[in-house]
Copies of this chain bind each other. A is one copy, B any other.
Amino acid sequence: MLYLIGLGLGDASDITVKGLQALRSCSRVYLEAYTSVLTVGKEVLEEYYGKELIVADRDQVEQGADEILKDADVSDVAFLVVGDPFGATTHSDLVLRAVTAGIPYKVIHNASVMNAVGCCGLQLYNFGEMVSLVFWTDTWRPDSFYDKMCKNRAAGLHTLCLLDIKVKEQSVENMMRGKKIYEPPRFMTVAQAADQLIRVIQRRREEGAEPGVTEDTVCVGVARLGADNQTIRVATLQQLMSCDLGGPLHSLVVTGRLHPLEVDMLRVNAEPNALQHLRMMDSSTYWS
Contacts and interface: CB of A to CB of B under 8 A. Distances in A.
A261 B95 CA distance: 11
A21 interface: yes
Q: Which of A84, A121, A157, A264 has the most CB of B within 10 A?
A: A84
A261 to B, nearest CB: 5
B99 A118 contact: no
Contact of A124 (B15, B18, B114, B131): B114
A94 to B, nearest CB: 11
Q: Which of A109, A132, A157 has the most CB of B within 10 A?
A: A109
Contact of A111 (B6, B119, B126, B261): B6
A107 interface: yes
A171 interface: no
A129 B157 contact: yes
A17 interface: yes
A127 B11 CA distance: 28
Interface in A249-283: 261-262, 264-265, 268
Interface residues of A, number: 55
A95 B130 CA distance: 26
A18 B13 contact: yes
Contacts of A84: 111, 115-116, 118
Interface stretch (A31-39, A53-61, A85-93, A196-204): A85-93
Contact of A118 (B10, B16, B90, B126): B90
Interface string A60-96: 0000000000000000000000011111101011011
A121 B112 CA distance: 16
A9 interface: yes
Contacts of A265: 92, 95-96
A285 interface: no
In the A-B complex, the 5 residue pairs with the closest CB atoms: A86-B118, A109-B111, A13-B18, A112-B115, A109-B116
9 contacts: A10-B18, A11-B18, A14-B109, A16-B110, A87-B124, A96-B264, A107-B119, A111-B115, A125-B130
